[in-house]
Structure 1
Amino acid sequence: MLRILTLALAMALGTLPALAQTGPLRIEIDEGVIEPLPFAIPDFVAENAAAADYAQNIARVVASDLAGTGLFREIPAEAHLATVTSFDSPVQYSDWKAINAQALITGAVSVDGNGRLNVKFRLLDVYSEAPLGDGLQFGGPAGSWRRVAHKVADQVYARITGEGGYFDSRLVFVSEAGPKNARQKRLAIMDYDGANAQFLTDASSIVLAPRFSPTGDRVLYTSYETGFPRIYLLDVATAARRALDEQPGTMTFAPRFAPDGRRVVFSLSQGGNTDLFELDLASGRRTRLTSAPSIETAPSFSPDGSQIVFESDRSGTPQLYIMAANGGEAQRISFGQGRYGTPVWSPRGDYIAFTKQSQGRFHIGVMRTDGSEERLLTASFLDEGPTWSPNGRVIMFTRETSGAQGAPALYSVDITGRNLRRVPFDGSASDPAWSPLLP
């Protein structure tokens, strides 16, 4: 097996993946600092002329995906002693050992006469001089080459860490433009790494808090196009949309899908009171879940759909509570100093991410589902609105800078608080929501 230094992350979190049980490992933990695993990925071999650019570009995206996790370190091409000119040629492991590569990724690309791309790759353990898993190949239209690269990276990540990847996924978010006091906001969608951005709505009205369906083909969001907040459901492929639960004299906001994708939980405000409701999308039947004189908002289902975590000021300040998915008595889980909000249940079911405001600073944090082991991952002038990667290892959020020229941007951080990174996007962005892995 690879000498997987990255498994120190799982050890530190007490969740060692199954892969660690299958062979000897050298795990180094130095006060929580993880030594990234060095890997080499030569440009993939172009098996015909039409594949030349794709071969290089795919290898670069795979390398970027892996290095961007903070768990892997690419050995640059200028340090390589060997070249890979054929996918089937024997590997000279001694050349890769000499540059201290622990993992080697090789691949080949071809494009047929119909413009269809075929990519095959191998992941090799340099020190045991053996493949780590079987070789795989992916195919698709040449225009989808970035998706193919993300799929390769997901496979490499999974084989080395024992966990699912998150690279072949998308973000829906609010793209912002204009001065701070008159921002134009549009829904947009892009790859998790900032590529292939597209707008889903125009800038004619304020939009907030988009949320993906469990299958990633629909988006819930809040719009002010009527002058009051109202929930809309949008089809990602066609951009067709419709308003949900149009009840006179009410305002609806903060929607989120149930894990089955057939129901939506949201906040409804009427007569000065705000409570949580559930809506069946097929029948339109609405069910009240809370009935308190306080403000209940920002609901999020547990992955199994049995519970909901939400924000409420029933104790005097915004705090986090958990209740059964069909309503009933709620249990408070946040007890630290400050104000808590925007809770989101991890797809793994083990943590809840949240926004915290304390002593003039904003934080993104995580806690266990019973409120224990609270850990703050960030601190700044304004951090808010966490969303989880599909594998539950990374959190993305909005960070806004202070001052008249301050603007929001998307950042990510892993659940240990390491590897804080700005997500590439040409412009201001807020309110991210991470999709599941694409089919």
Structure 2
Amino acid sequence: MMRSLLTLLAALTLWAFPATAQQGGPLRLELTEGVIEPMPFAVPDFVADTPAAQEFARNIARVIAADLTGTGLFREIPAEAHISRITSFESPVQFADWRAINAQALVTGAVNVDGSGRVVVRFRIHDVFAGQELGRGQQLVGDRDGWRRIAHKVGDQVYARITGEGGYFDSRVVFVSESGPKDQRAKRLAIMDYDGANVQFLTDAASIVLAPRFSPTGDRVLYTSYETGFPRIYVLDVANVGRRVLPTLDGTMAFAPRFSPDGRTVLYSLTQGGNTDLYTMDITSGASTRLTTAPSIETAPSYSPDGRQIVFESDRSGTPQLYIMPVSGGEARRISFGQGRYGTPVWSPRGDLIAFTKQSKGRFHIGVMRTDGSEERLLTASFLDEGPTWAPNGRVVMFTRETQGAQGEARLYSVDITGRNLRQVVTPSGASDPSWGPLQN
């Protein structure tokens, strides 16, 4: 397991090389809350510069296409509709042939396997109707086992060039993998690419694990385990799967941990003497600070991206609602006022929205609202939707959806913040409690 996990972290190099067409271009997909007609695009199989590169050339193009179509913002024109065939990366693009099939964007590339066994990918992004290249061509280099990461990086570049926003394809998700019958479900931590590929297990199923949360740099994971009989918080190093328990008082229950934006502090809930409050802990020294002293239940805390505020769930008003307070504690301000119960708030990486779970009229929803509680918008509705987590660019939310009944199963889904493009994230077995990590370096 360790060899394949380390492969996912293989370094990639990126630099520009001279473009063969006019730089710049008007092609742009504006992301609004209105109806979006997906942009038609084409990604022909990349050119294989060497026989050893043929499979990589085909597979990389397919992953790029899947990344883009998976956003719901792009529509791929299938290969059988192509008039032109890209047989040389250096040859001029016959834009008239691509305009004839209504392709607005075209991605071309070439793949080589060098003498060291590394995969070298060159690619260009073209504005078909303007008949020119967008920006400059680029090159990526990585290990053979890291070819999917290269493809995701290309997809991120295409997404960013056309939408003007950051991509999210070269990222990973840590989650709880579930198996077995509903009343005896085995749970263990797992990590995967954002699209469900390259699943690796981080723990066994010997004890119940809950609420994994990535560090800001994606190298560590916080989670809650019942290994000792009481919930305790562990921090796990992703690269070597080494772990340690964070110190808390005997007889207390610590849970719902989350890293601060600088990765130095852990924010969590602790139950002691029948009362549940929020605490912070210096992850190096283990020193803890109590933030709340209310007789209510304070849980599910999340930092603002600038680290100055905390959003959390509390039942101090009689039902679970969302509150914001300074990172040092103090007076909390309620921000949720709709009908129903609110929980599991998570601050967007952009800082503009808070995602949450809402229970109302027998249904569960994933929703978003402004940080002052305004413009609440419900994105989903089902028997049980819960636990949102944000993509690195703040455009997409992933969450857990569980079906009802004795055979009910938890699965991961994603949805755009406008409520469009609801999609299941395919995993080998049941899955819950996702935490979306940052873009990889």
**Smaller-chain TM-score range?**
over 0.9
Q: Is the 8 A contact 1:177 1:184 kept in 2?
A: yes
For residue 425 of structure 1, the aligned residue among 424, 427, 432 is 427
CA RMSD of superposed structures (Å): 0.7
C-alpha distance in 1 between matches for 2:27 and 2:117 = 39
Match of 1:397 in 2: 399
Q: Within 5 A, what are the aligned runs for 1:352-371?
A: 352-371=354-373
TM-score, scaled to structure 2: 0.94
Does the 8 A contact of 1:309 with 1:323 survive in 2? yes
Partner secondary structure for residue 65 of structure 2: helix
- The one-letter code of the counterpart of 1:379 is A
Name the counterpart of 2:183: 181
1:265 and 1:91 map into 2 onto residues whose CA distance is: 54
CA distance in 1, matches of 2:232, 2:285: 19
- Using the alignment, how far apart are the partners of 1:283 and 1:426 within structure 2? 39
Paired residue for 1:138? 140
**Cross-structure match for 1:43:** 45
Which of residues 170, 191, 197 in structure 2 aligns to 1:195? 197
Q: Distance in 1 between matches of 2:364 and 2:92?
A: 54
Aligned to 2:22: none
CA distance in 2, matches of 1:337, 1:141: 52
The answer for the alignment partner of 2:285 in structure 1 is 283
**Could you say what secondary structure the match of 1:436 adopts?**
strand
Work out whether 1:268 is the aligned partner of 2:270.
yes
2-side partners of 1:136 and 1:253: how far apart?
45
Match of 1:83 in 2: 85
What corresponds to 2:11 in structure 1? none
Q: Which residue of 1 aligns with 2:104?
A: 102
Partner of 1:233: 235
Counterpart of 2:356, as a letter, is F
Secondary structure of 2:217's match?
coil
C-alpha distance in 2 between matches for 1:3 and 1:361: 41
User: What is the letter of the counterpart of residue 190 of structure 1?
Assistant: M
Q: What is the letter of the counterpart of residue 224 of structure 2?
A: T
Alpha-carbon spacing, 1:2–1:68, altered in 2? closer, same or farther (3 Å): farther
- Structure 1 residue 113 displacement after superposition: 2.3
* Partners of 2:95 and 2:116 in 1: CA distance: 37
* Corresponding residue pairs, total: 417
Aligned to 2:353: 351
Counterpart in 1 of 2:207?
205
CA displacement at 1:3 relative to structure 2:
4.3
Q: For the Cα contact (< 8 Å) 1:166–1:390, is it kept in 2?
A: yes
Q: The residue matched to 1:181 in structure 2 has which SS?
A: helix
- Aligned counterparts of 1:351 and 1:120: Cα–Cα separation in 2: 37
Which residue number corresponds to residue 414 of structure 1? 416
Paired with 2:161 and 2:426, the residues of 1 have a C-alpha distance of 27
Matched with 2:7 is none
- Work out the CA distance in 1 between the residues paired with 2:194 and 2:345: 21
CA distance in 1, matches of 2:227, 2:287: 24
Alpha-carbon shift at residue 284 of structure 1 (Å) = 1.3
Report the AA paired with residue 314 of structure 1: R
Q: Does the 8 Å contact 1:2/1:103 carry over to 2?
A: no
* In 2: Cα distance, 1:225 partner to 1:104 partner: 52
Aligned AA for 2:40? Answer: P
Question: What is the distance in 1 between the residues matched to 2:286 and 2:424?
Answer: 40
Distance (whole Å) between structure 2 residues aligned to residue 91 and residue 3 of structure 1: 17
Q: How many Å apart are 1:247 and its aligned residue?
A: 1.1
Partners of 2:135 and 2:431 lie apart in 1 by 39
For residues 311-337 of structure 1, the C-alpha deviation after alignment (integer angstroms, 9 at most, x for no partner) is 000000000000000100000000000
Deviations 1:128-185 (A, max 9, x none): 1111111000001111000000000000000000000000000000000010011000
Inter-partner Cα distance in structure 2 for 1:264 and 1:199? 23
Alignment match, 1:52: 54
Question: What SS class does the counterpart of residue 96 from structure 1 fall into?
Answer: helix
Is the contact between residue 169 and residue 192 of structure 1 (CA under 8 Å) also seen in structure 2?
yes
Q: Which amino acid aligns with 1:293?
A: P
Partner of 1:64 in structure 2?
66
| Cα shift at 1:228 | 1.2
Deviations 1:71-111 (A, max 9, x none): 00000000000000000001100000000000010000000
1:310 corresponds in structure 2 to 312
The residue aligned with 1:124 is 126
Query: Is the 8 Å Cα contact of residues 306 and 324 (structure 1) preserved in structure 2?
Result: yes
The Cα of 1:56 is off from its aligned counterpart by: 0.2
Summarize the alignment of residues 304-343 of structure 1 with structure 2, pairs less than 5 Å apart: 304-343=306-345
Equivalent position SS for 2:57: helix
Tell whether the 8 Å contact from 2:27 to 2:162 is kept in structure 1 after alignment: no
**CA deviation vs aligned residue, 1:3-52 (integer Å, no higher than 9, x gap):** 43x31x33x3xxxxxxxxxxxxxxxxxxx221000001100000001100
Matched, 1:166 2:137: no
Partner in structure 1 of residue 5 of structure 2: none
Three-state SS of the structure 2 residue aligned to 1:156 is helix
Unaligned runs of 5+ in 1: 13-31
Contact 2:230/2:251, CA 8 A, preserved across alignment: no
2:6 equivalent in structure 1 = none
Q: Show CA shifts across 1:326-353 (max 9, x none).
A: 1000000000000000000000000000
Q: Is the 8 A contact 1:2 1:127 kept in 2?
A: no
Report the Cα distance in structure 1 between the residues aligned to 2:43 and 2:307, rounded to whole angstroms: 41
* Segment of structure 1 superposing worse, 45-54 or 112-121: 112-121
Tell me, in whole angstroms, the C-alpha distance in 2 between the residues paired with 1:338 and 1:322: 18
Residue 246 of structure 1: CA displacement?
2.8
| Equivalent position of 1:374 in the other structure | 376
Q: In 2, Cα distance between the equivalents of 1:433 and 1:274?
A: 23
- Give the secondary-structure state (helix, strand or coil) at the position aligned to 1:145: helix
What amino acid is aligned across from residue 418 of structure 1 in structure 2? R
Contact 1:2/1:160 (<8 A) preserved: no
User: How far off is 1:388 after superposition?
Assistant: 0.1
Give aligned-pair identity as a percent. Answer: 75
Structure-1 separation of matches of 2:360 and 2:426: 29
Deviation of 1:2 after TM superposition, in Å, equals 4.2
